[in-house]
Amino acid sequence: VSNEQAIRYEPARLEHAEIFLSMMRALEGADPGTTPFDERRRRAIFEDFTKEASFGRAWLIFAGEKLAGYVILTLGFSFEYRGRDAYIDELYLEKQFRGRGIGRKTMQFVEEAARGLGVNAIHLEASQGNTAAMELYRRTGFVDHERRLMTKWLTGTPT
Ligand SMILES: CC(C)(COP(=O)(O)OP(=O)(O)OC[C@H]1O[C@@H](n2cnc3c(N)ncnc32)[C@H](O)[C@@H]1OP(=O)(O)O)[C@@H](O)C(=O)NCCC(=O)NCCS
């Protein structure tokens, strides 16, 4: 991508399911999550998500005409964070689009979108060894705190 190439964000629609799923699979390869990737479930979740605006927003990221990646913002609520809060649930750029400032631009874009939705604070998780992600988040104002996020599955730990 040349620097002049415009970065554009297209809101996710149901018909984008296969595009999202293929990039989600690639993200899982680049940054394995805590739960195994289950394509069938993911597709169903994507369908639910695109139908229900209160769950959050997702966008495809384009550099000029080329698909560069995707980002997902999910919405929550917290007394501690003074009302609406949100998670950057997933952020992925295809290899050839990394390290060119698109991550930073996308963080700005998502922050603006979140403000527009009345969000007070954005959270995210980053894997220890993922330097690019850690640097991006640190440099866009995210701070680590002396707390651990703990999780209990109510539907059984996925295998
Ligand atoms: C993580 C990711 C989104 C970062 O986006 P990016 O477009 O490559 O990052 P940018 O080019 O905007 O860089 C942002 C900042 O981080 C720094 N940075 C980026 N990659 C870096 C690396 N590998 N090592 C050190 N610093 C790095 C840049 O120097 C830049 O700093 P600056 O803006 O102050 O100059 C992208 O690399 C990616 O999609 N990786 C694979 C998927 C993934 O790991 N997603 C995150 C899951 S939590």
Q: Is 126 in the pocket of ligand 1 (CB under 6 A)?
A: yes
Find out whether 136 and 103 touch, Cβ atoms under 8 Å. yes
> Token pair of 121, please?
């604070």
Q: CA 138 to CA 124: how far, in whole Å?
A: 11
Residue 126 CB partners (closer than 8 Å, separation 6+): 133, 134, 137
Q: Listing from the earlier edge strand, what are the strands of the sheet with 66-78? A: 7-11, 56-63, 66-78, 83-93, 121-123
Q: What is the pLDDT of residue 159?
A: 80
Considering only CA atoms, which residue is closest to atom 3 of ligand 1? 103
Q: Identify the pLDDT of residue 33.
A: 81
Using alpha carbons, select from 79, 78, 87 the residue that is nearest to residue 137. Answer: 87
Could you read off the pLDDT of 38-66 as tens digits, one per residue?
A: 999 999 999 999 999 999 999 999 999 99
Rounded to the nearest angstrom, the distance between the alpha carbon of 99 and the centre of ligand 1 is 6
What was the pLDDT predicted at 128?
Answer: 87
Which segments of the chain have a pLDDT < 50?
Answer: 1
13: its two tokens? 């629609």
> By the 8 A CB rule, do 73 and 113 touch?
yes
Residue 4's pLDDT is: 58
CB atoms < 10 A from the CB of 133, how many? 17
pTM, to two decimals: 0.96
**Closest C-alpha to ligand 1, atom 16:** 136
